[in-house]
Structure 1
Amino acid sequence: MGKTADMIFGEHITSDDDRPTSECDIKEVVRSMFSGIGGAEESKLHVAARRGNHELVRSLLSGRPIKPRQLHIDMSRHPDLSFDREEFYGEITEAGERLARESLNRRDKFGCTSLWIAASRGHSETVRVLCESGADLEIPNVKAQTALFAAAKHNHVACLKELLDAGANPEGSILNLSTPIYIAARENFVEILRLLIKYGADVNGRNANLIGNSPHFGSVPLYMTVVYRNFECFKLLILNGAELQTSSNDKSRGSNAVKAVLRHQCDVRFLKLIALCGGFQHGDRTYIDEAAKVFGQFRHGQSSMRQECVAFLQELCKQPMKLTHLCRISIRRSLGHNRLRSLKDLYLPASIKRFLLFTELLRDEVSI
């Protein structure tokens, strides 16, 4: 169901092997996404949200009937028109309030609410007004993309912040096989990724494929940062506890972090971070020798970056890591990525917390 699945679930990912998957009832998914649409038409609230006119949105949600002549004004020709003037409003009525409540979460023919439209267009003031008015934050469109997903996909940082502050789920809809953090990692949206992590998004991706108890590397957001060589996003994910002890799948050449870095010709900074965060079994040359041998024999696509990475791998076992680095790896591994964000709240000296959280690496170049 190739193209159909892309239309329904919203995001094209590099290949079938790279696509996050989960088991679900397709009938229930489709029924949920298309419920309440039917022959839905675009409402005046939808139009106001698309134009980013938060004053008109507030007026439409107030329950006051706007005069007929006002409803037919082309707002694109009158961008400076104010709606604070008393002549534009009637008295608040029970029918008007009921109509406002009904229109707040109404979906158009594509399943988009006014909040979704405003978030996708980057109108943060309109998003704030709709959130304050009680708009449902989790209603997806026909592609199972929530308003937060739309804001993340289009790199609208201010809108994303408004939605997260209002309590939107940073993981998006469970009906979508992709997640906001996966899209941010792929598109190199650093600030979007930073916000999602801060508000609790899973750095390994909600839908990561599991082989045993470990995620398959091709299904996690970290893999997207390697494929597209997005180092800043790679750094954010790995320093916030993204899983490095991934399972291997012999059918996929990019099944683990080291091989993926070499395959996609990333620079040596990627490998240095992997080493610092415990991605190598200290003292075990088998894994490193295998990677160096396989990729050292490449004839096509050989590059100075890959040669530098292979040289780094070969040098890695010749000198042990610092004891402080090994302690940090052990402590972070014991905590796990879900508890890492709480480390700053522990009663520890600030210098130790900064060291354990790699605060210096968030600002400076990577060195070991």
Structure 2
Amino acid sequence: MNAGSVSGDCKSSEPIVVGKISHHSIELNWGSGENDRNGPTDSWTRFSLEEMDPKSHNYGTIYIGYSTHHVVEGLEPSTLYKFRLRITRPNGECSLSPAVSVTTSREPLSCKHLHQAVNRNDEEELIRVLQSGTVNVNVCDKLGFTPLMVAAQKGFGRLVRKLVDHGADIHVKNGSGKDSLMLACYAGHLDIVQYLRKFGATWQSRDMGGCTPLHWAADGGHLPVIAYMIQDGCELDVRDTVSHWTPLMRVSAVGGNAAVASLLIRAGADVNVRDKDGKTPLMVAVLNNHEELVELLLDNGADQHVKNEFGSGAAEMAKAFGRQNIIDLLEGRKIL
């Protein structure tokens, strides 16, 4: 944009006519009868469209040519712009139109605004977007998460309710097969878990690896959520479809959270359940050096003499991995 100023000999011209306005463009028209294009171009009237810089208040040229029409593009939504037209005739006579002020329209509501409102926990903006009726409430972001999934994972209970009220599908899954209930279980948002259950979310839902909400709750380690799930009749020894691990096996393999394991065991989880390779929760806990969990499992009837399909038991695994603390613990139990 070239800087420009008004010369003293420029005469006033007819005003610019504003045409179509969008959130990113403004159409401008002028001089319907002034542009005689007969003969060579040096005999044509030339037009220079100028835009004012809001900071310096100086005008700069954004278009030079012989057209009586120009669309200014790449503008910001809901923003005020100011234009004027400089007309130069073949005889050198110059005229300048009165300045015209135009404000671009508000940007149309889109999925971007919906996800922005959720990520910012902006209930007012969320309601505005939802009530517009122009955005699919189940639209996914670039990670494959719906607005409901994001709100459930972040613990934005009020937004979860608004989204469900406006038709959000609680059963939609992301690319890895997780639904809003699984995400809320893993993150430990009990109020949202209860709310989603009220509207039909199921404990039987599975992700791509066959894990259920209880598997994810066990991974998250949030006792109030797990206690509610147990009280609500969630199946304790449900297996995934990859390793055939129950939630108790997941605890043994992933976090070793003895408090979670204790809660599952007290509710009736099988301490001697086997995975597809014949390993028990005790073996998995030994392999991952979860000493407190090993002791808990032994206290609750875990059989250290069971062998996997390769003929190895908990003691052999402890020795193979040099887990002397576990070896001592197991040997002490044998003496007892």
Name the TM tier (shorter chain).
0.5 to 0.7
Asked if the contact 1:258/1:271 (under 8 Å) is kept, the reply is no
**Deviation digits for residues 135-194 of structure 1, max 9, x if unmatched?**
210111223221122223333344333323333223444545333322332343333333
Alpha-carbon distance, 1:242 to partner = 1.8
Summarize the alignment of residues 272-283 of structure 1 with structure 2, pairs less than 5 Å apart: 272-276=296-300, 278-280=301-303
Measured in 2, the distance between the counterparts of 1:240 and 1:58 equals 42
Change over 3 Å in CA distance of 1:114–1:186 after alignment to 2 = closer
Q: Which amino acid aligns with 2:154?
A: R
- 1:312 corresponds to which residue? 333
Measured in 2, the distance between the counterparts of 1:178 and 1:155 equals 17
Question: 1:193 aligned to 2:226?
Answer: yes
Question: 1:233 aligned to 2:260?
Answer: yes
Summarize the alignment of residues 216-255 of structure 1 with structure 2, pairs less than 5 Å apart: 219-227=245-253, 228-247=255-274, 255=279
Asked if the contact 2:152/2:192 (under 8 Å) is kept, the reply is yes
Long gaps (5+) in structure 2 = 1-109
Give the secondary structure class of the aligned counterpart of 1:168.
Answer: coil
Alpha-carbon distance, 1:262 to partner = 3.6
Measured in 2, the distance between the counterparts of 1:286 and 1:124 equals 48
**Deviation digits for residues 14-66 of structure 1, max 9, x if unmatched?**
xxxxxxxxxxxxxxxxxxxxxxxxxxx634222212211223323433x4xxx
Give the secondary structure class of the aligned counterpart of 1:259.
Answer: helix
Summarize the alignment of residues 103-114 of structure 1 with structure 2, pairs less than 5 Å apart: 103-114=136-147
**Deviation digits for residues 273-315 of structure 1, max 9, x if unmatched?**
5554x545xxxx9659x95863685682311x54134312442
- Greater per-residue strand proportion: 2
- 1:58 corresponds to which residue? 127
Q: Which amino acid aligns with 1:312?
A: R
- 1:302 corresponds to which residue? 324
Question: 1:259 aligned to 2:283?
Answer: yes
1:168 alignment partner, one of 195, 201, 225: 201
RMSD: 3.5
Give the secondary structure class of the aligned counterpart of 1:167.
Answer: coil
Which one scores higher on RCO, CA 8 angstroms, separation ≥ 6? 1
- 1:47 corresponds to which residue? 116
Measured in 2, the distance between the counterparts of 1:136 and 1:246 equals 35
Give the secondary structure class of the aligned counterpart of 2:237.
Answer: coil
Summarize the alignment of residues 1-368 of structure 1 with structure 2, pairs less than 5 Å apart: 42-61=111-130, 63=131, 96=132, 99=133, 103-173=136-206, 175=208, 177-208=210-241, 219-227=245-253, 228-247=255-274, 255-267=279-291, 270-276=294-300, 278-280=301-303, 287=306, 294=316, 300-303=322-325, 305-315=326-336
**Aligned pair count?**
222
Change over 3 Å in CA distance of 1:198–1:57 after alignment to 2 = farther
Asked if the contact 1:152/1:183 (under 8 Å) is kept, the reply is yes
Moved over 6 A (4+): none
Q: Which amino acid aligns with 1:307?
A: D
Measured in 2, the distance between the counterparts of 1:287 and 1:176 equals 27
Measured in 1, the distance between the counterparts of 2:240 and 2:227 equals 20
Change over 3 Å in CA distance of 1:239–1:153 after alignment to 2 = same
The higher radius of gyration belongs to: 2
Asked if the contact 1:111/1:142 (under 8 Å) is kept, the reply is yes
**Deviation digits for residues 208-267 of structure 1, max 9, x if unmatched?**
56xxxxxx7x62221222233210111122222223342476x67xx1133334443434
Alpha-carbon distance, 1:271 to partner = 4.3
Asked if the contact 2:274/2:280 (under 8 Å) is kept, the reply is yes
Long gaps (5+) in structure 1 = 1-40, 64-95, 210-215, 316-368
Asked if the contact 1:171/1:181 (under 8 Å) is kept, the reply is no
Give the secondary structure class of the aligned counterpart of 2:125.
Answer: helix
- 1:87 corresponds to which residue? none
Change over 3 Å in CA distance of 1:144–1:292 after alignment to 2 = closer
- Greater per-residue helix proportion: 1
